[in-house]
Amino acid sequence: MFNFKKEADTEYIDLTDIDVFQQQYNENFSRLKYFGLQYLPDEEAVLDIIQDLWLKIWERKETLISQSAFRSYLYQALYRSILNYLKHDAVVKEYAGKDPYDLEEQEATHKIIEAEIYQALNRVFEELPDACRRVYAASLEGKSQK
């Protein structure tokens, strides 16, 4: 993704070197934090997003990255990540705004269905001959076929 051809007048960085990576992190962290806070006032969320961004960069282990292209990438990636965070947050808030009785009703419906399935299984289990029923009961208790 970041592999560019070297040109004589362009400064390149090698993010596979831990020292270079740490240096880039230290140089860009405060800038990214300030930039992120312009779009998302939640400082903790911005810091988490920035950490995720650097983790992804480290996992890719890119080489031969132009300094200017890398900075541009950092800002664009942070901006996109913040937009994704805001979209996700809106969905969470919308879901949280739902009537809790609707959720309780759904849970009650699931419990009713579960009870009916359990009752049907018990009915089928009772219709089995005694020997089969004992074998299945033993297997449900974790016993072997012996």
3-state class (DSSP) for residue 64: coil
Model-level pTM greater than 0.85? no
* Radius of gyration (C-alpha) of the chain in whole angstroms: 29
> Is residue 35 within 8 Å of residue 75, measured between CB atoms?
yes
The confidence score (pLDDT) of residue 4 equals 46
How far is Cα of residue 41 from the mean position of the Cα atoms in its chain?
21
Q: Cα–Cα distance between 132 and 139 in angstroms, integer?
A: 11
One pLDDT digit (tens) per residue for the chain, 146 residues? 454 444 555 678 888 889 989 999 999 999 999 999 999 999 999 999 999 999 999 888 776 678 888 889 999 999 999 999 999 988 888 877 766 566 677 777 788 888 888 788 778 878 888 888 888 778 777 777 66
Q: What does the block give as tokens for 68?
A: 């200017």
The confidence score (pLDDT) of residue 16 equals 85
The confidence score (pLDDT) of residue 132 equals 81
